[in-house]
Every structure is written in C-alpha cells, then in structure tokens.
Amino acid sequence: MRTAKIARTTTETDIELRLDLDGAGRADINTGCGFLDHMLCLFAAHSRFDLSIRCRGDMGVDAHHTTEDIGLCLGQALKEALGGKEGIWRYGDMVLPMDEALVLCAVDLSGRSHLTYDIKVPSAKAGDFDTELAEEFFAALSRSAALTLHLRQLAGGNTHHILEAAFKACARTLRQACAMDPGIGGQVPSTKGTLI
C-alpha cells in the first residue's frame, strides 16, 4: 500500500494529512482558505491520489503558515508513500492549458530538492489567497519530498487560470512520475541503485 499519514502540530498550524498514491482522486480538504481548498481538490482529482487534509492554522495572521506547512506535509507524505521508489517511472512532464493560460511542469523524483518557479500572475490575490503563496507551497513540497520540480508559465493573463494550470500540471506530472513502470521489474530507476 503506497499510503502515508502525517500529523504535524506547531504554534502556527495543526495538520492531519492522509495520502494514497493508488487512489481514485478523492479529496476531503479543509484548510481554512477557500482558494487553497479549491487548488488542492483539483490536485487530488488530476493526480488521482486520494487526499485528505485538515488544517487549523493562524488564519488571523494570513494563509502563509497554512500554505507552507501543508506543502511540507504533502511532500513528506509523498516521500513516505513512495518508500524506496522501486518500480516507478520517476520522471513526468506536462504542458497544460487552462483557457488562455499555459503552464509547463516537469518533475524528477530524484531524492534531490530543487524548485524552478517561473509563474507570474497579474493579481496579488485570488479570492482569499495571496498569490505569492503558491510559490511557498511548491517550494515546501519539493523540499520535503526531495524532488526536482520545474514550473514555467508559457502564456496567461488570468490569475485564477494561471494558478489552476500550475496545480493541475503538477498533479498530472506527479501522477506520471509516481506510476509503476512495468518495464523495469520493480527496480529503482537509477543507475546508482537508489533515489533516496
């Protein structure tokens, strides 16, 4: 079972997260931030991961700690659920359109953390969400999952569409990378013999 349960409590957030990499895209999300809930529901649907998140954060301040800590927990769960990464594809890529927006995403489940984030949105807010926090989410995800993630905006003028394209592209790319590759017979897809 490629699953993980994460519980993380700090003075800023209290998070319970469950992840199943071999799910059906079911989402049960409550972060206290409507736009973030929407993005994470899309993430679950397009990755086909089952994802449950409960977060009580210091939203009286803003959504920064909530967004970053959920990214950390999701990355930690992803790393745990993948285990030794035997038999996975490892790589994924996607160019995803969302109306006028177009976002490229590529991922390597390399065991090395790196984020290249080239997304520029015209608005500072999307609903109740500070749009600069999207980068914080992806940075935390890539750091705690120990993966290489590239997100690049190729087109777009609507903030919601651009960010939605980024979350969907990341989800579909991770779906590819985490999928089992029947051609490698359960081996780790690295000449080093490890991706940890």
Q: What is the mean pLDDT of residues 99-107?
A: 98
Predicted pLDDT at 89:
97
pLDDT 10s digits, 50-101? 999 999 999 999 999 999 999 999 999 999 999 999 999 999 999 999 999 9
- Residue 42's contacts (CB-CB under 8 Å, 6 or more residues apart) are 164, 167, 168, 171
pLDDT at position 25 over 90:
yes
Angle 139-16-34 from CA coordinates, rounded to 5°: 65
pLDDT band, very low/low/confident/very high, at 17 (cuts 50, 70, 90): very high
Show me where the domains of the chain are located.
3-184
Kindly state the percentage of the chain with pLDDT values over 70.
Answer: 100
Classify 3-184 by CATH class.
Answer: alpha beta
pLDDT band, very low/low/confident/very high, at 196 (cuts 50, 70, 90): confident
Cβ contact 95:102 at 8 Å: yes
Predicted pLDDT at 110:
95
Q: What is the mean pLDDT of residues 40-52?
A: 98
Give the residue from 74, 39, 35, 38 showing the smallest Cα distance to 53: 74
**Which residue do the tokens 């800590």 mark?**
69
And the tokens for 2?
């490629």
pLDDT band, very low/low/confident/very high, at 125 (cuts 50, 70, 90): very high
